[in-house]
Amino acid sequence: MGSFKNVFSEIHYEMVRKIAEGGMGLVYEAAQLGAGNFRKVVAVKIIREEYSAISEFQKNFIGEARLVADLIHTNIVQTYHLGQVGGQYFMVMEFVRGVNLEQFLEQHHAQGKPIPVDLAAFIISRIARGLTYAHQKCDREGRHLNIVHRDIGPKNIMIAYEGDVKLTDFGIAKALDLMYNEEGKVIAGKDEYLSPEQASYAVTDARADLFPLGIVLTELLLGRNIFRAPDRAQSRRNILTMPIPQFSSLRPDIEPRLEAIIQKALQRDRDKRYQSAFEMMTDLEMYLYSDRYGPTNEKLGVYLKELFGVKDPGTTPPYHRSTP
């Protein structure tokens, strides 16, 4: 990492540590430096060196940065800058001091405790809120971007220690004129979090993000993804054909109103599914707040810090986002 750190120091970024890596990319915690001892903690995402010269990966990386540059919303991880140094493209993003949902689930498993139903529904309602914004987004000329995230899953959902819930990683998103896209020829997304449209190589629209959002909700409630199988092809077959259970029979404190929301989100026929993220968000909020004082960011933040034993999130080594 030494030469890499030296190159980035020339453009006023101090690389602190690697916080995530995947098959094609790396994410670092970094400090953005400025005049008067200015210092801001950010995340820097780069393409692996062996892929950085391949035009397809470059175009997608640039497309992702251009797409998310104007996605400014409290429930979406913000992107500040796209740069190039030493022939290497990099993206500077908001640093979320907290955990992703995979880590959140793992911590509950380790402690042998279920995730509270109201907090599970609240987390998903916040992601539905972020998706509502993204799905409705237009470009500067007023053209609807037709954004589909296509990679909804626990690794791409962050919870800050303050309780903010944020969607991240639009790396395989579909959007007007911005991203390399071979939909219909290849499957984009993780097998156990696909919509039926993705699993069957069909062309998607925004409703394809709502089926996996329902999957994540049930995983938070049950502690497992009911569609996951050891074999990737079997996971896809489960998405397409496995009978959808009554979730209240698997966890008795799932109320009928929440059961109805889950069942609608997991409709394989997208014309019978929720038709928008706004519609799903509204039903979740009605469930959470219509007859009680429901959860808030602050309540989730307190719960998260207690779960992970965090006293001062400003000095505790943070978790961060998904693998790129």
Catalytic site residue from 151, 169, 191, 283 = 151
Asked if 151 is an active-site residue, the reply is: yes
Nearest to 302 by CA among 155, 160, 167, 95: 160
Tokens of 135: 């799905």
Position 300, amino acid: L
3-state secondary structure at position 196:
helix
Cα first-last separation, the chain: 18
Kindly state the helix (H) or strand (E) to which residue 91 belongs, with its residue range.
strand 88-94
Q: Where are the alpha helices (DSSP H) in 25-152?
A: 55-69, 101-111, 117-135
Phi/psi-derived region of residue 12, left when phi > 0, alpha when psi is between -120 and 50, beta in every other case: left
Residues whose CB is less than 8 angstroms from the CB of residue 318 and which lie 6 or more positions away in sequence, other chains included: 29, 95, 96, 97, 98, 161
Judge whether 128 and 284 are in contact, CB under 8 Å: yes
Active site residues: 151
